[in-house]
Amino acid sequence: MIEFFSVSDTHQTQPTNRLVHPQVAVTTSRVSPWLSPVLYFVGNYFLLPSFFGRISITGQENIPKTGPVILAPTHRARWDSLLLPYATGRYVTGRDLKFMVTKTECRGLQGWFVRRMGGFPIDTQHPAVSTLRHAVELLQQGQMLVIYPEGNIFRDGKLHPLKSGISRLALSAESSHPGLGVKILPISINYSQPYPCWGTDVSIHIGSPINVQDYTKGKVKQNAKRLTEDLARDLQSLSNPELAFSHHDAAEVSTSPIVSVSDSTERSPNVRGGATSRKRELLTIDY
């Protein structure tokens, strides 16, 4: 017979019939109250304006000022995660961003900064339920969450098939709290050079938010597929309107695992230069 023991205050082992389960890692994220103001100031007024030649931003009026939002940008360079707060963060909306990033981006000195600016890691091949649950909790709290739907950095300027995890995450949050009002905001980021260097121009186009509540009727898998296809079309229209994003390519979206979650009217650019089993199923199916 196997016995389980606990250590008392007198350091004597006493038998107990209670099985102590190993602790499960809990995913958390936070924005440092002292570091973030410094980085926002330095980034907005010195680093980004001095490094890039021209930063053109359109569609900032589309950013929801309140409520849960998933920012779904194209991923073209590591600079993306610095430009997003510049274009959508506290100086624009009064809100801070949380980032779902790959494990490699949370290592070393870079990881130290990423974690203190709201980043938290995800294993792109085997996403932990705790990580996905944390992302849903952030949305339930009405926060802004950044998920790169393409999953990786692509420097060819073309939109690549999206991962379905971003849609499933949004649907999970919305279904757990009907009427929550989760929105997905398509954002296109493009650089004048594949590998941004000093003087590179940047254009950021922010599309109209997609209301996730419009995709909650019917089966989850079909809803996620439809939502991801619509997001892909919006990103394509923002990124390269002349390139056709075929229905076949959009359909690939719904079968890929999670990595990392438009308005066609012309606007004047703003240039700034210089936990139940049901919930578990929604989170883990097809990842």
Q: Distance (Å, rounded) from C-alpha 237 to C-alpha 189?
A: 12
CB 189 within 8 A of CB 83: yes
- pTM of structure: 0.75
Q: DSSP string of the chain?
A: ---EEEE-TTS-EEEES---PPPPP-----B-TTHHHHHHHHIIIIIHHHHSSEEEEE-GGGS-SSS-EEEEE---STTHHHHHHHHHSHHHHS--EEEEEEGGGGSHHHHHHHHHBTEEEE-SSS--HHHHHHHHHHHHTT-EEE--TT-S---SSPPPPPPTHHHHHHHHHHHHSTT---EEEEEEEEESSSS--TT-EEEEEE-PPEEGGGG-SS-HHHHHHHHHHHHHHHHHHHH-TTS---HHHHHHGGGSPP------S----EEEE---HHHHHHHHTT-
pLDDT tens digits for range 90-133 = 999 999 999 887 776 667 776 777 777 777 777 666 767 878 88
Distances (CA, A) of 119 to 38, 128, 168, 258: 17, 16, 20, 17
Domain ranges of the chain: 34-240
Residue 93 buriedness (CB in 10 A; 0-12 / 13-18 / 19+): middle
Q: What is the pLDDT of residue 123?
A: 67
CB 73 within 8 A of CB 89: no
CB 186 within 8 A of CB 37: no
Q: Report strand pairing: 183-191 vs 69-73.
A: parallel
Fold of 34-240: Glycerol-3-phosphate (1)-acyltransferase (3.40.1130)
CB 26 within 8 A of CB 130: yes
Q: Indicate left, alpha or beta for 87 from its phi (over 0: left) and psi (-120 to 50: alpha).
A: alpha
Q: Nearest CA to 82 among 51, 49, 43?
A: 43
pLDDT in tens, the chain (287 residues): 333 323 334 444 444 444 444 445 677 777 778 888 888 899 899 999 999 999 999 999 999 999 999 999 999 998 998 899 999 999 999 999 998 877 766 677 767 777 777 777 776 667 678 788 888 999 999 999 999 998 888 898 888 899 888 999 999 999 988 899 999 999 999 999 999 999 999 999 999 999 999 999 989 899 999 999 999 999 999 986 444 333 334 434 433 333 333 333 333 444 444 433 333 333 433 33
Q: Distance (Å, rounded) from C-alpha 284 to C-alpha 287?
A: 6
Q: What is the pLDDT of residue 16?
A: 44
Phi, psi for 139 (deg, rounded to 5): -70, -40
Q: What is the pLDDT of residue 31?
A: 77
Q: What is the pLDDT of residue 95?
A: 92
Q: What is the pLDDT of residue 117?
A: 79
Return the biggest CA–CA distance within the chain: 76
Q: What is the pLDDT of residue 110?
A: 67
Q: What is the pLDDT of residue 118?
A: 77
Q: What is the pLDDT of residue 133?
A: 86
CB 98 within 8 A of CB 145: yes
